[in-house]
Structure 1
């Protein structure tokens, strides 16, 4: 299977340019800090790798077809590819994963965490969500457009113990990390926000701030969020959550990342495949299976797919 990862050379140059600290200081810390792998050196993966490396961590970046880690086993691997590339990402990650390596998925949508769990088991699988944002401009230059919080939820108690050992070093390196208690709830909380923000901003060609205030775009995003939240509650994956709470969360994220152009918007502009099938498409499919209406998500799904085919 061919995986549409960006090439590593540009990413590696950016990481090195934005890294600080001498090799000697990194060597002194190597014995007490985790080794982190990043699979998928696109905009987000490259930005996260740069933050962690500039904070003194040893970071191994792997892209299309690259194998092997070198040195001692990695402690944590972050999957930063698109959701439709998850199977290829798992193949690329496999040589980096030792008996105690955690594998965290930061992809949008539904399905990636389940695949990580099936491949590596609850002792190594971690669900993740981040509001860190990055994109490439028209010249291909990387812009880390928003700093945010990264939430990681381990699948089991052994994974929790391992994650607790890694998190202090990640925080010292400059990443705002929080351990969440429930991986499934975390995935769905992220999905609700993604279903509201990504397709609306992508179709309208607007930054995230366009749905932070009143207006038709905000109303459309709120309806998408309400539908996704309803599916999550009825399916039993999340506790009952008032619709206004889901909408408020969307407004909060949109306000915090107001100047950011969403990844789906960047994908459409660049002629790349989006993650719409794993976001709005999953909400619409699961709503239908539960006998619920999700007309807004279904419409957004079809419109983005139509744009992809232009």
Structure 2
């Protein structure tokens, strides 16, 4: 049994694909009102992909109130909610339990590894595109890449092999380097989309030289972290901008929905790491200050 913590688009995407792989799975919900909502809708998920629509039955339970053991949990919450979400099921974990983290940014992963030292914690980088027209309706808009790894550089666990029929994943022994590259790309795009309230494709014209300076500083930071091939970073960032030109970043979506953003685990984390390594990043620092002010002006959390 694979338990999925988080009923957002990524959590539901894993539920849908686990079902397609004939793997027993359970969606862990925050509270009784969330459970009642699912039950009132027959515990069904409408899943759309490539124009095809399927109705999938979903097993649900309240994360904190159930007592059955959890061997494998996929955590698909926002980065700032990971620790509290996992604490709600700590009583259900055993030393052999495994935790797979799907979060954006960095920082939350290390927090979990420290707080749940008895469990094996795996990190993942996910680039799938999915959205929810309603809480129990998921549209898988674009198939991306799922890269998984163990920060302790251990081999992949056997359970991952059982889901390969519906979830294509790659194992990378240097998962932190993968996550740092993704973090750098997000740092160069998402905060600007928040600041200028624009789609990804508008970032180069709106940010101008500021974007170039940020990319240069991100290259320095990645090199200091031991990430190879940082000279390709500018091309990778502009490729992503071009490929996702009409997309609205998750950070911009959070802003528009008046939700807390993951800024602190993306740009905030990068700036803190630069400070710890005595790397000057004035362009990134200016961007962090500007985006925090933008959030404060809208009465949203800045951390």
TM-score between the two structures when normalised by the length of structure 2: 0.75
Identify which range, 79-88 or 218-227, moves more after superposition: 218-227
Distance between the aligned counterparts of 1:208 and 1:122, measured in 2? 40
Instruction: For residue 279 of structure 1, report the CA deviation from its aligned partner.
Output: 1.3
Give 1:177 shift.
0.7
Residue 159 (structure 2) aligns with: 166
Structure-2 residue corresponding to 1:304: 291
Q: Following the alignment from structure 1 to structure 2, what is the Cα–Cα distance between the partners of residues 93 and 270?
A: 28
1:288 positional shift: 2.8
Partner of 2:186: 194
For residue 71 of structure 1, report the CA deviation from its aligned partner: 6.8
Aligned 8 A contact 1:201 1:265 in 2:
yes
Residues matched between the structures, number? 266
Q: Which has the higher helix share?
A: 1
Structure 2 residue matching 1:170: 3-state secondary structure: coil
Is this contact kept in 2: 1:42–1:81, CA < 8 A?
yes
1:228 — aligned with what? 218
1:266-306: per-residue Cα shift (whole Å, max 9, x none)?
Answer: 10001011111121112222223333222222222222222
| 1:157-197 deviation digits (Å, cap 9, x = unpaired) | 5x5241xx233332202x22111111322231221121112
CA–CA separation in structure 2 for the residues paired with 1:131 and 1:221:
22
Contact 2:95 2:119 in 1 (8 A): no
Structure 1: runs of 5 or more not aligned? 1-34
Are positions 1:83 and 2:79 aligned together?
A: yes
CA contact (8 A) 1:281 1:297 kept: no
Alpha-carbon shift at residue 144 of structure 1 (Å): 3.1
> Which digits, 9 at most, give the CA deviation of each residue in 1:121-159, with x for residues without a partner?
3861111111012334599964433220011111335x5
Q: Distance in 2 between matches of 1:220 and 1:143?
A: 35
**Do structure 1's residue 207 and structure 2's residue 202 form an aligned pair?**
no
RMSD of aligned alpha carbons: 2.9
Structure 1 residue 273 corresponds to structure 2 residue 265:
no
Matches within 5 A, 1:73-112: 73-74=70-71, 76-112=72-108
Tell me the TM-score normalized by structure 1: 0.74
Q: Hey, which of these two has a bigger chunk of strand by percent?
A: 2
Find the partner of 1:67 among 61, 64, 68.
64
What is the match of residue 238 of structure 1? 226
Separation of aligned partners in 2, 1:247 and 1:57: 40
- What is the alpha-carbon distance in structure 2 between the residues aligned to residue 279 and residue 255 of structure 1? 21
In the alignment, is the contact (CA less than 8 A) between 2:68 and 2:92 conserved in 1? no
Runs of 5+ unmatched residues, structure 2: 32-62, 299-303
